[in-house]
Structure 1
Amino acid sequence: MTPRLPASMQVFERGWLSANNVLFTGAETALVDSGYVTHAPQTLALVRHALKERPLDRLVNTHLHSDHCGGNAALQAAYGCHTAIPAAESLKVAAWDEAALSYRATGQQCPRFGFDAVLAPGDELELGGLRWQVLGAPGHDPHALLLFCAQEGVLIAGDALWENGFGVIFPELAGEPGFDETRATLDLIGTLDARVVVPGHGRVFDDVTGALARAYSRLDYLSSDPRRNAENAVKVLVKFLLLERQRIALAEMPGLLASIPVVAGALRLVGRVDGSAVHASDEHSNAEHDQYHALATWATTALVRANAARIDGPWLVDN
């Protein structure tokens, strides 16, 4: 049974390529997160169907990973909606610095969009006739935000807490702290009297205590050996590309991984793949190719073993 949400609040549960969208109605309409760019037509269709002839007044992003804001440009073009983003990302968005944002590093797409306002921890905003607290949620993304409605006990968690885990802890791949930040965010969520969580991916859930316990267990597992977080990141990035493209030529996998900057950070942490030593600092092109070839082979095997992909002749195909 789906947990009860306020009447002014509707969740579009999306596939994992796109983040969930949260639509608010009332005196003013608003959408939290906009999905990935290749799903933008579907996002527009969902919003238009729900709003009928009403405009979309506001757009809010929990964080600026491409699967959460890839539909921003399309929604802005269709509705001219007032857009609020995390304050810490404002200069990067204003300059459209794809290197400072995550799009170039992860090999993902995001059309340029603008913004009208910023949100920072400690702010409050009204959505669907309800007051929402803005809280910081570093870990998966250093500048991510939570939205919490104390009156209804509803938490919009983005990728800080899912029913079974949380988003990849990307800062650790760049040699920046992320494990402690993730734990602090989980601790913060534990202090809130949340009865329902709307995650960035997956279904809305009300077993908040159970979800936190699973998240802490996952964090303990990843932080006890940072290689595990790096391996998980590689698998997630390849799966994301499969979701987007549906199939990738096996012969292209090493070059594809080498073209994604964040994978280099993962490679340094992985250290060994299928028994082969991996040294990201190796300057010899043949050795570097071998490293990425080994990583591609490992990632392919891991995804097939997890039934997240299958091999069809020369292709790695999404399951």
Structure 2
Amino acid sequence: MMDSKIIFIERKFPSANMILIKDKRSILIDSGFKSDVTETEKFLIDNHVSPKDLNSIINTHYYSDHVGGNHYFQNKYKTHVAAHSLDAELINKANDEACSAEWLDQPVDPYHVDTYLNDGDVIETGTRRFEVIHTPGHTLGHISLYCVEEKTLICGDLFHANDVGWFNIFREGSVSLSLALHSLQKLSEMDINLSYSGHGNPISDPKLSINNAMVRIKKWLDSPEKYSWHACKRIFSFTLIMRDGLDEEEIDSYLIRCGWFNDMAIHSFHTSPKEFVSTLIDEMLRSGAASWQGKRLVASAEYNSPNMNVYEEHSKPKNWRKVHAD
């Protein structure tokens, strides 16, 4: 008889956590950052699931730390990928806005979504059923998965044990916070015993974390600058992680090239991008999100250095069309 279970592995940035539904139809929830595909592949094998027999990858949302391994698994093993229809449309049309990769300057290799998921869909794995719950906020196509039998929730980046996912109001819309609040309210009314998020430890008291997230978002709705800082620090921290730090002399020119940085400076903080560089660095240092190592600014969060050139010719959706054509 198959040893059926939900297997959770917490891992460091830049990847999201690994969650394997090991069952008659085994499913991997999110595939991690592209530089960690070897680790992801080993995780499956170590748990006696051959990558070629993996039934599918289900993405909670389309950011690079959650979908970065899709390209590898689809090309090597023909792995089936499922995602919410709002994400899937952008992905399959290679829309410039897909994954917000261009705006964020984050690499995502080309992949396609085979199955469009929507709220209320049920995924059968053999001994378990997972209800798809559309939980927009962090992204418009964000989903959570609820295991009916075990009252377990896989919540992606909607909320974490002591945090919430950042909000991309420039690409997902200014209504993002209100959508997240509605999503959290919906989850707060469910019977959930345990939750697995995209980052951090398993959440043993989901109700508390959900309520804390709701309180925080309500405060942000009254103080927009606070959630803008939350987003800025997380985006820049992830940049520092992907690049294993930035040299002091390259920071200004790099940031001023980034869409997210320009939008935040001009529209959220009402200043020029050039002036906002030192403001952001000061806040990164003050908050402990980053520190100097000599003349190189590095992220303070624990992470595994990608140790590779993650930026390739086709690493942005705007260039996927050429790959598809070839």
Query: What's the TM-score bracket when you normalise by the shorter of the two chains?
Result: 0.7 to 0.9
Query: Aligned residue for 1:300?
Result: 281
| 1:147-296 alignment, distance < 5 Å | 147-171=145-169, 175-271=173-269, 278=271, 291-296=272-277
Query: Aligned residue for 2:27?
Result: 30
TM-score if structure 2 supplies the norm length?
Answer: 0.85
1:311 partnered with 2:292: yes
Equivalent-residue separation in structure 2 for 1:135 and 1:177 (angstroms): 19
Query: Aligned residue for 1:93?
Result: 91
CA drift at 1:173: 6.7
Equivalent-residue separation in structure 1 for 2:49 and 2:144 (angstroms): 28
CA drift at 1:7: 4.8
Instruction: Give the 3-state SS of the residue equivalent to 1:165 in structure 2.
Output: coil
Equivalent-residue separation in structure 2 for 1:28 and 1:175 (angstroms): 36
Deviates more, 1:201-210 or 1:213-222: 213-222
Quickly say closer, same or farther: Cα 1:23–1:61, change in 2 above 3 A.
same
Q: Residue type matched to 2:42 in 1? A: A
Equivalent-residue separation in structure 1 for 2:50 and 2:166 (angstroms): 38
Cα shift readout 1:153-200 (whole Å, capped 9, x = no counterpart): 100100112111211111367653112111101101101100101111
Equivalent-residue separation in structure 2 for 1:104 and 1:312 (angstroms): 28
**Contact 1:156/1:199, CA 8 A, preserved across alignment:** yes
1:20 partnered with 2:17: yes
Instruction: Give the 3-state SS of the residue equivalent to 2:182 in structure 1.
Output: helix
Equivalent-residue separation in structure 1 for 2:87 and 2:148 (angstroms): 26
Query: Aligned residue for 1:282?
Result: none
Structure 1 consecutive aligned stretches of length 4 or more whose deviation exceeds 3 Å: 172-175
Equivalent-residue separation in structure 2 for 1:50 and 1:98 (angstroms): 37
Structure 2 gaps of 5+ residues are: 301-326
**Contact 1:174/1:262, CA 8 A, preserved across alignment:** no
CA drift at 1:269: 3.8
Query: Aligned residue for 2:55?
Result: 57
Quickly say closer, same or farther: Cα 1:247–1:198, change in 2 above 3 A.
same
Q: How many equivalent residue pairs?
A: 297
Instruction: Give the 3-state SS of the residue equivalent to 2:276 in structure 1.
Output: helix
CA RMSD of aligned residues (A): 2.0
Cα shift readout 1:219-276 (whole Å, capped 9, x = no counterpart): 123221111111221111110011112210122222222222122322234325xxxx
Quickly say closer, same or farther: Cα 1:128–1:61, change in 2 above 3 A.
farther
Instruction: Give the 3-state SS of the residue equivalent to 2:266 in structure 1.
Output: helix
CA drift at 1:292: 2.5
Instruction: Give the 3-state SS of the residue equivalent to 2:131 in structure 1.
Output: strand
CA drift at 1:77: 2.5
Equivalent-residue separation in structure 2 for 1:116 and 1:175 (angstroms): 26
Instruction: Give the 3-state SS of the residue equivalent to 2:169 in structure 1.
Output: helix
TM-score if structure 1 supplies the norm length?
Answer: 0.87
Quickly say closer, same or farther: Cα 1:184–1:52, change in 2 above 3 A.
closer
Equivalent-residue separation in structure 2 for 1:52 and 1:147 (angstroms): 21
Instruction: Give the 3-state SS of the residue equivalent to 1:167 in structure 2.
Output: coil
Structure 1 gaps of 5+ residues are: 1-5, 273-277, 279-290
